[in-house]
Structure 1
Amino acid sequence: MVLLVASMSDDPFETTRLPNSPKKGRGAVSNRESRYSETIREKIDDRWWSEDIPSLPTIVTRESARSIITHNRSPDIPFDQSINAYRGCEHGCIYCYARPGHAYMGLSPGLDFESRLFVKFDAAALLRKELAKKTHRPSPLALGANTDPYQPIEKEWRVTRQVLELLQNCRHPVSITTKSALIERDLDILSAMAREHLAQVQISLTTLDKGLARIMEPRAASPQRRLQTIRLLAEAGVPVTVLVAPVVPILTDAELETILTHAAAHGAIRADYIMLRLPLELKELFQEWLETHVPLKARHILARLCDIHGGKPYRSSFGLRQTGSGIYAELIRKRFRLALKKTGLNSIDVRLTSKLFRRPDDGPTQTSLF
């Protein structure tokens, strides 16, 4: 497939390869092919078409999944089961490690990831069946481990809300990670669950620079709005962790202490951080973004990433993929620990309980009539 863009010229057969350009409200600069693609698409100017390319719409497809709980066995992830109600994420964060997953759908991890979305509309019904099984062992379910459960289309589909209503009814513990203020809609459920030690929330903050956030995570809530969300959650009694993720060398690393200080002032009680990860196609997508938006820092940032990941842009080894190694990674660790002491973050432990769990009530059975 070739996208043709043209204008008038003396030579009607002359063609020129067109550079990719950022699109308003989108994170990725291009729609690069995935690792499974058999064809390569390029924009060329064949001098025959002069209209602008239309803006990129968001397309949502209903997906009926076979199961909804994903079981995790990674030693560096603090949960063993998660739910992802959506594939793709309209927030468009350029650094999102979930982007390569769109390749399994035959789509690009670039612009397709943030504009061609899939919703598991029956997630709550599937979860109800799984919770009812005698083999289910309750432990905190993680929402937002892959894509944001409160991305913009949640306003219409309300899948996360339905899942939370079921978890509250079953008194099943839940941990949520988001960068959206939409979570405030569900404060009624979260505050009630938190009182029984059944809910906690992680608010992701990458930068406090509104201009940088606008191009790096274009459809997410502004950093200042996320701080307000932390305050509202804390005031409602919901334990909040600020997740500084990802830490981007050279670009955002200087803000580490400032982010933690502001988060603590707004009511967060715990904190964590994750270094930038660039698996699979994400390496080329992020490099393209750097060269477009911060070209003078691009080589420096990529070189620092290689320092962190043993000479490569990314290393997937357990125990190292989220924090890195080497002198720079150790410096970030020390700065983080020192900031924790100064802010008082992580002095309070948050533990969710599974002891209150009760299986879904599907109504009276025939034997209950006797």
Structure 2
Amino acid sequence: MTVSEQGRLFVNFPRWTEDSPVSVAEVMKDGSLRPYPDEQWNAWRNVRRDELDPGRHWVCVQSVVADGRGSVWVVDPAAPAVDGLVPGGPKLVRIDLAADRVVQVIRFGPDVAIPGSFLNDVRFSHDGKHAFLTDAGQRGALVVVDLASGKARRVLDGHPATQPEKGVVVRTDGRPLRYPDGRPVLFAADSIALSSDGAWLYWKALTGTTLYRIQSAALTGKGLAGADLSSQVQSYGQEWDTETVDRHDGGMGWRTPAGGAISNEGWVRFLPAPAGRGTVVTLRFRFEPPDGAPGKWLLELLGTIPLRLVADGILRRFKNLVETGEIPTTARQPAARADTY
């Protein structure tokens, strides 16, 4: 799902397990779905794969992202059911929101969308010149794209930072996610984000708990030129699994599932403020640091930042985001004080 700068809402429906009548759609004000940009691009059906041009149809769209510059971009790994690529299908597509039509198609050849790949998500450099994608397939990697020329290159291809981590189990509804034959489901580099100043790209494997980062300038410079960037990858922190817990007091809660790496639980509650003066947001959480590297990382972090300040910082940023639509930052302000939360 993505929202344009004009407030238009777009969604996509990947063909993970079955065919779908719509791949990319705009959600209209009445809640209906409008095939986007038109029905022709959404006409692909797996049973008709020999009749249709995969380069001009949505085969298995994984992500839609509005770039804030008047376009929506669509990532199509073209691998229905994650069961092999449809030749000629992997692509990154730009749709002009003013005209509601496709204006650019960047096709990925077998040097980028390698056998077993599954291009997952995309972010864009602040100058609008480059795109960064994750490949969550059989051999994880990042992909850097020069948007003007369409040149693309895999970087950190097969590097440990882009691969699934051993011993990590992906769960859904509290149960391990497995193939019908019992094999565990493994996803490589998946989640991706760009820092607010555009200087750093962050990512992690879905089957993994470690967050990594690298300077975006390294990707668009030496990385796009084909240099090895292994020495520039930084491990930036740990993530842990949680499951939601139903509450009946106007809030929602979470806790670590059984066997989780880091025991934690908490809740957030939203209640009307007195005299109709807004909403009171209350956050509580606790955790028990484990032994080993994750515990050491947490103790180092929270040994310098009191837990109360962590909670305060989260709430302040949430308040700013809800009230103003953005989070204040000192990025690009050399004379300003550093953020304190």
Q: Using structure 1 for the length normalisation, give the TM-score.
A: 0.26
Q: Which has the higher helix share?
A: 1
* Structure with more of its chain in strand, by fraction: 2
Q: How does the TM-score come out when normalised to structure 2? A: 0.27
Looking at both structures, which has the greater relative contact order when contacts are Cα pairs under 8 Å and sequence separation is at least 6? 1
